[in-house]
Every structure is written in structure tokens, then in C-alpha cells.
């Protein structure tokens, strides 16, 4: 394995009965990255995650955690993993702090200092002395993440962490997940079937379909590759702008709601802007409406619906 991977999957396979559910997964996850594990329902995400955290045996292959085999060095390997796979059990009648203390007691060497640290990491300082029963779902989810971080894992695995959250809860979780990847250098693995989420939260994505990895790349690569769809330019005067684009650049342009709207590729944008500015057109804003990872994901799996 490469020296720095936090987790390595080597030809991981899982059969249940006579059915091959996972058909040989190979990929690495690195410290400090948020890795999105994507796939439509039934693709095999949960099964893979259950194997990663030792809740399910592998039929074939191995998972190495910081170089330790989950098969032959289970204890050492699993010690480095924190996970929320099923909803974390919390006592609603106890405060957030008491809940964390309760878990900390079951683990070796978790200090009060560490509890304070994880509370701050997930942004619960203000609410930590309130009863968990009064927490929003998003706050409970963050308390769950804090709990999973208590023993200082180098890998954090979250199965569908934004499930059931409202948009502001989703935004918060996203922020804290990014924060702890950066601040604690934790490798975070997030599973989801919601691509718009993954696009905003992750550095890299792996897409699984029918138990096989069909794509793996950085979010930036995925976005750069996608062709630009529409470009909206707030240009004054609009007519002059349209003439320049059409006559000089031979690109069709329309005027919609005080904006110049045209279709072009990403690499054409700088020259379009330059031509407009050279032609004394003032630019007040440019918006690029490119296709999202969701389009890419749907292309890859060859389906139009993912729910
Ligand atoms: N215990 C089991 N017995 C038989 N088949 C199973 C079992 N567990 C999972 N499967 C099958 O394995 C496949 C993958 O399931 P899995 O739950 O891993 O998918 P998933 O990608 O997590 O989907 P979801 O988002 O719906 O949870 C599905 O086709 C499922 O029906």
C-alpha cells in the first residue's frame, strides 16, 4: 500500500447466500480527505461500510487500516476507526456532555480534555449542557460524530449523515465534516445517494453500482470535465455585447432578463469576457450554469432517477 493511505480496500468481495453483493472493490482513502461513497439504493454502500467497520465479514479480499489487516489484526485495525453506521444511541434525558462522558467511560484513555475538544469540533459548546431530548436532529447527528471521534480515530465513517436533516442542518453537518478533515487530518468516508450533497462536501468520490466501483475521481476533476452548459453575463450595453459574441466569436447569444445568455465550453469563457471588455462592454457579473455531478452520476449509472 502507499505509505500514506488511511484505509485500503483490496479486492473486497461479499457473497450473501448465492448472491454476489460486492464484486471486488479496490481503492484507497487518504488522511485529511472527505471521500464520498456514492451509489443508487441497493448498490452495496451499506454492505461495504459494514465490512469496513468490522460489522460484517469479508468473503474475499482485505481491508487495511493504517496498514493493519481487518482480518488478521482486527483489534489494532478497528481501534483507528470511528463510525456512525446505525443511528447512534443517545439518552434524551441526559445532557450532551453526560452522554459523551458515558461513552468515554467505556473507552480507554479518553480525557475530559478530549471530550471538550470534540464538542468544539462539532460546534456544540453552547448546547452541550442541555438535554439531548431538546436537540434538533442535526445537533444529535453532530453529537453522534463527537462520540465517534472521542477515541481519536484516523478514519471516520458516516453512513448517510444528512439523512432526514433540513437544509440548514445539512449545511452545518457539511461544515463540521470539512472542518474536522482539515483540522484533525481525519479521513472521512461519507456515503450518500444524494449527489448535490457530496459535490459540496467531498474532495473525492467513488461511485458504486451493482457491487462494483464504476468511477473514482476528485470532485474538481469531475466538475472540470463537464462541459459548460449556459453562461449568463450581465453586460451593458446588452446589444453591443450580443453583436460582439455573435459576429466576432461566432457564438449564438440571446438576451434574457437583462443578461446575455450563451452556451460555450469552459475554456472559451476567458476569451468571451476579454472580447466583450475590449469592445467597451461593461461586465457586472458572470454565472456559469454547468452540469453538476448529479448529471454525471446519472450518465454513469444510466438512469434518470436515483430515488
Ligand atoms: N442480508 C442480506 N441478504 C440478502 N441480500 C442482501 C442482504 N443485505 C443486503 N442485500 C442486498 O445487497 C444489495 C446491496 O445492499 P446495500 O444495503 O449494501 O445497498 P446500499 O447501496 O447501501 O443501498 P441503500 O442506500 O438502499 O442502503 C442489495 O441488492 C440488497 O438487496
Spans of all domains in the chain: 7-224, 227-289
3-state secondary structure 19-86: EEEEEEEEEEECCCCEEEEECCCCCCHHHHHHHHCCCCCCCEEEEEECCEECCCCHHHHHCCEEEECC
* Cα-to-centroid distance, 306 and ligand 1 (Å): 15
Burial profile 72-82: b = 16 or more Cβ within 10 angstroms, e = fewer = eeeeebbbbbb
15, 47, 49, 51: which to mutate for ligand 1, most atoms within 8 A of CB?
A: 47
pLDDT for the residue numbered 40: 82
Neighbours of 69 (CB within 10 A): 15
Neighbour tally for 252: CB within 10 Å: 12
Distance (Å) from CA 45 to ligand 1 centroid: 8
The pLDDT assigned to 304 comes to 43
**Fold category of 7-224 in CATH:** Rossmann fold (3.40.50)
Could you report the predicted ipTM of this complex, rounded to two decimals?
Answer: 0.93
How remote is the CA of residue 9 from the centroid of ligand 1, in Å? 19
For residue 39, the ligand 1 atom closest to its alpha carbon is 21
Which residue puts its alpha carbon closest to atom 24 of ligand 1? 41
Cβ-Cβ contacts under 8 Å for 276 (sequence gap 6 or more): 233, 235, 241, 244, 245, 283
In this structure, the residue with its CA closest to atom 1 of ligand 1 is 16
- Which triple of cell numbers denotes residue 172? 452545518
Say how far apart CA 187 and CA 182 lie, in whole Å: 9
Q: For residue 210, say if its preceding peptide bond is cis, omega within 30 degrees of 0.
A: no
Residue range 227-289, CATH number: 3.30.70.100
Tell me, yes or no, if the two domains 7-224 and 227-289 fold the same way: no
Q: Is 128 left (phi over 0), alpha (psi -120 to 50) or beta?
A: alpha
User: In this structure, which residue's CA is closest to atom 10 in ligand 1?
Assistant: 21
Cα 128 to ligand 1 centroid, rounded to whole Å = 36
C-alpha 160 – ligand 1 centre gap (Å)? 14
Q: What is the DSSP string of 98-149?
A: HHHHHHHHTSTT--HHHHHHHHHHTT-TTTTTSBGGGS-HHHHHHHHHHHHH
Rounded Cα distance between 272 and 231, Å, is 10
Global pTM exceeds 0.90: no
Distance 156 CA to ligand 1 centre (A): 22
- Residues 152-208: pLDDT tens digits? 899 999 988 887 788 888 888 888 899 889 988 999 999 987 777 788 889 999 989
Instruction: List the beta strands (DSSP E) in 134-258.
Output: 155-159, 187-192, 204-209, 212-218, 230-236, 253-256
**Ligand 1, atom 31: nearest CA belongs to which residue?**
42
d(CA 67, CA 8): 8
State phi, psi for 87 to the nearest 5 degrees.
-55, 130
pLDDT score of 226: 62
Pocket test for ligand 1, best of 12, 18, 44, 52 (most atoms within 8 A of CB): 44
**Residue 16 alpha carbon to ligand 1 centre in Å:** 10
Identify which of 13, 14, 37, 45 to mutate to test ligand 1's pocket (most ligand atoms within 8 A of the CB).
45
Phi, psi angles (nearest 5°) of residue 14: -140, 125
- Averaged pLDDT in 10-residue chunks for the chain of 307 residues: 80 95 96 92 91 93 95 92 79 95 87 93 93 91 91 91 82 87 91 80 91 88 70 94 92 91 86 94 88 65 50
DSSP helix/strand/coil, 264: coil
Whether the CB of 39 sits within 6 Å of ligand 1:
yes
CA distances to 181, 242, 247 from 255, in Å: 44, 8, 15
Closest by Cα among 182, 187, 99, 193 to 140: 99
How far, in whole angstroms, is CA 57 from its chain's centroid? 25
Q: Which of 16, 40, 191 to mutate to test the pocket of ligand 1 (most atoms within 8 A of CB)?
A: 16
Q: What is the pLDDT, as a whole number, of residue 299?
A: 67
Going across the sheet that includes 230-236, the strands are 253-256, 259-263, 230-236, 282-289
Query: What is the CA(35)–ligand 1 centre distance, in A?
Result: 21
Residue 149 C-alpha cell reads as 471521534
- What is the CB neighbour count within 10 angstroms for residue 266? 15
Amino acid at each position: 500500500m502507499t505509505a500514506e493511505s488511511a484505509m485500503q480496500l483490496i479486492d473486497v468481495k461479499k457473497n450473501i447466500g448465492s448472491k454476489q453483493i460486492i464484486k471486488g472493490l479496490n481503492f484507497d482513502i487518504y488522511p485529511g480527505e472527505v471521500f464520498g461513497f456514492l451509489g443508487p439504493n441497493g448498490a452495496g454502500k451499506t454492505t461495504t461500510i459494514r465490512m469496513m467497520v468490522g460489522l460484517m465479514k469479508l468473503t474475499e479480499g482485505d481491508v487495511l487500516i493504517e496498514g493493519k489487516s481487518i482480518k488478521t489484526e482486527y483489534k489494532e485495525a478497528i481501534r483507528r476507526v470511528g463510525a456512525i453506521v446505525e443511528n447512534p444511541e443517545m439518552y434524551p434525558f441526559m445532557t450532551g456532555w453526560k452522554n459523551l462522558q458515558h461513552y468515554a467511560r467505556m473507552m480507554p484513555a479518553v480525557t475530559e480534555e478530549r471530550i471538550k475538544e470534540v464538542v468544539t469540533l462539532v460546534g456544540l459548546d453552547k448546547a452541550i449542557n442541555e438535554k439531548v431530548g431538546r436537540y434538533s436532529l442535526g445537533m444529535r447527528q453532530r453529537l453522534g460524530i463527537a462520540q465517534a471521534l472521542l477515541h481519536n480515530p484516523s478514519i471516520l465513517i458516516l453512513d448517510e449523515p444528512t439523512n432526514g436533516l433540513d437544509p440548514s442542518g445539512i449545511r452545518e453537518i457539511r461544515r463540521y465534516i470539512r472542518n474536522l478533515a482539515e483540522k484533525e487530518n481525519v479521513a472521512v468516508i461519507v456515503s450518500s445517494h444524494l449527489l448535490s450533497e457530496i459535490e459540496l462536501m467531498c474532495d473525492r468520490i467513488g461511485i458504486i453500482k451493482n457491487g462494483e466501483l464504476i468511477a473514482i475521481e476528485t470532485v474538481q476533476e469531475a466538475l472540470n470535465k463537464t462541459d459548460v452548459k449556459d453562461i449568463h453575463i450581465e453586460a451593458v450595453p446588452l446589444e453591443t455585447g450580443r453583436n460582439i459574441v455573435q459576429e466576432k466569436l461566432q457564438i449564438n447569444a440571446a438576451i434574457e432578463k437583462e443578461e446575455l445568455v450563451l452556451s460555450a465550453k469552459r475554456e472559451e469563457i476567458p476569451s468571451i469576457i476579454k472580447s466583450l471588455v475590449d469592445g467597451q462592454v461593461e461586465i457586472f457579473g458572470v454565472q456559469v450554469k454547468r452540469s453538476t455531478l448529479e448529471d454525471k452520476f446519472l450518465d454513469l449509472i444510466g438512469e434518470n432517477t436515483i430515488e
